A = this chain, B = another copy of it.
Amino acid sequence: MPQLGFLHGRAWAALLGQLRRPPGAVCIGAVRSHSQGPEVAEATLASQLKPHKEKPNFILKTPKGTRDFSPQQMVVREKILDMVVSCFKRHGAKRLDTPAFELKEMLTERYGEDSGLIYDLKDQGGELLSLRYDLTVPFARYLAMNKVKKMKRYHVGKVWRRESPTIVQGRYREFCQCDFDIAGHFDPMIPDAECVKIMCEILSGLQLGDFLIKVNDRRLLDGIFAVCGVPESKFHAICSSVDKLDKMSWKDVRHEMVAKRGLAPEVADRIGDYVQCHGGVSLVEDMLQDPELSRNKQALEGLGDLKLLFDYLTLFGIAEKISFDLSLARGLDYYTGVIYEAVLLQTPAQAGEEPLNVGSVAAGGRYDGLVGMFDPKGHTVPCVGLSIGVERIFSIVEQRMKTFGEKIRTTETQVFVATPQKNFLRERLKLIAELWDAGIKAELMYKNNPKLLTQLHYSEDMGIPLVVIIGEQELKEGFIKLRSVASREEVAIKRENLVAEIQKRLSES
C-alpha cells in the first residue's frame, strides 16, 4: 500500500505539531458608544484616510458552523488533500469542477429527509438557486447535460449543509468533500470493487489507525423490507430509520419504526432479526439460503452482487477489511445498489487525549437512477462512487496536535536577504529581485534599517535554511556572505556566483 513520505514517523509528528484550534470568535460590544446616525457613519466611511473612530456594532465571527483555516491548518489540509487526489489519479480519474450553487430545482427531491438542510439563496431576481449539498448530484447533472455516457472523475470542493447547531466531532455547515465516481455501463461490481479499494488505499495511506469497511446493498434492504411485510411506500422511511442504527440502539430504532413510521410491531421485529446481522462472505452465503429472501428478486440480485464484490476484494487483498453489515443503510435517497462506509475501529487517541468518535470517514455506493432523473429522455447512466470525509480526518489530525510538538513550516522560503548595514535597502532589493528571477524563494524585512539579530532570528523561527548577508566591505570586494542557518556557518561567495551556489545547495538538501 503506498504511503506518503510526509506521513512517516517524525515527519507526520512534525506536521501535526503546530496545529491550532480554529480561532475563537471575538465578541464586540453590540451597542454604539455614540448615537451617530447612518449619515455620520457614511461620512466616516467616505473618508478612509481619517482614523476610524466608530466601533463596529456587530459580532466579529465567521458564520455558525463555518471556520477560517489558519496557515498551519492549511498545510495539513493540503497534505491530506494531496494524498487523496494522488490516489484518485492513481486510479485514472479526471478532474471536474462545477459551480458552488445549482438551480434550486436540480436539488429538490434528491436528498429525502435531508432536503431541509439545503441552503437556498435569496431571491434577488432571476433564477432560484441553492448551494450544492454534495458533489454527486452536480456530477449527475453534468453527465445528463453533456450527454456523457462514460466517465471516471474526481472532484474536490466545498459543500454546504444547514446541520443542527451543535458542531461536534468535525461536523460543520461548510465542509470539503473529495469524490471519486465511475459512470458507465460495465460488467457487474468491477468499478464498485475499485471504489472500495480506493477507500482502503486512502485510509491505509493516511495511517489513521485500524479501520473497517461496512458493505450492504439497497436492493437487499428493499428485499428484506418486502419479505418482512413493509408496504413499498414506506421503504424509504424505514431505510432512514435503519440508517440510524450507528447512533441509536435497535430498541430506539424499533420504537421510531412503530411510533413514527406506523409499522406493525411484528414487522419491525422481523426487520430487526435481519438488520442486526453482520459478518463476512459466509453471511452472504447463509442469506442466499434464506427460503424467503431467496424468492425475492431484489434481495437475490443484491446478494449475488455482494458475493461477487467479496470475490474481487479478495483478489485485491483487502477482504479482511470488509464487513457485510445489514444495518448499513446510508441516508441519501439516490443509492440503488451496493453501499459502503468506512469507519475507524479505534480512536487514534494517545495517552492523555480524549477519545474522539469520528464515525464514518468515507462512504459511497451505487446510484444507477440519478442521471436518468436529469436526462430529458430518461436515459440512465449507471454510476458508483465514494466520498472521503476529509473534515473528519482533519479533526483526528487536529486532535493529535496536542501530543506532538514539532514545528511545521507554513512558508517555503529558501533564502533570507539580510544586512548588518544601515541604508542598505537598495542593495537588498536589487539582490532579492535577482533571486526571485532565478526562481529562488526569498524574503527580506520591509524596513529601511532592520537589526541583523532580528533578521537572523526571523530566519531561524521560520525555518529558512539560508541567509544571504550583504555588507559594505564585502560588496566593495565583490563578495557576499552565505550563512547556513542550521550550522551557523558563513562563507564568502563571489557576487556573480551567488545564485548558482544557492541553487547548488538547495538541490543538495
Contact = CB atoms under 8 A, between A and B. Distances in A.
Interface of A: 1-2, 23, 25-26, 28-29, 41-43, 45-49, 51-56, 58-64, 66-71, 74-75, 77-78, 89-103, 105-106, 109, 119-124, 126-127, 129, 131, 138, 141-142, 144-147, 153, 158, 160, 162, 174, 182, 184, 186-187, 190-191, 193-194, 197, 201, 219, 222, 232-233, 235-236, 298, 312, 315-317, 333-334, 336, 368-369, 372-378, 380, 410-413, 425-426, 429-430, 433, 436-443, 446-448
Nearest to A94: B71
Nearest to A316: B433
B182 A92 contact: no
A247 B1 CA distance: 58
Contacts of A94: 71, 74, 410-411
A56 B77 CA distance: 39
A145 B61 contact: yes
B55 A378 contact: yes
A457 to B, nearest CB: 14
Those 3 A-B pairs whose CB atoms lie nearest each other, nearest first: A71-B94, A186-B446, A66-B99
A376 B60 CA distance: 8
B52 A372 contact: yes
B441 A92 contact: yes
10 contacts: A46-B235, A52-B372, A63-B99, A66-B99, A71-B95, A89-B412, A91-B443, A92-B443, A119-B121, A190-B425
A74 B101 contact: no
Given A56-B373, A62-B98, A186-B447, 4 more contacts: A63-B127, A124-B162, A312-B429, A317-B433
A380 B187 CA distance: 64
B52 A369 contact: yes
Given A55-B377, A68-B142, A158-B100, A298 B49 contact: yes
B60 A222 contact: no
A448 B121 contact: no
Contact of A70 (B96, B126, B160): B96
B441 A89 contact: yes
A101 B452 CA distance: 43
A2 B120 contact: no
A369 B48 contact: yes
Contacts of A119: 121-122, 124
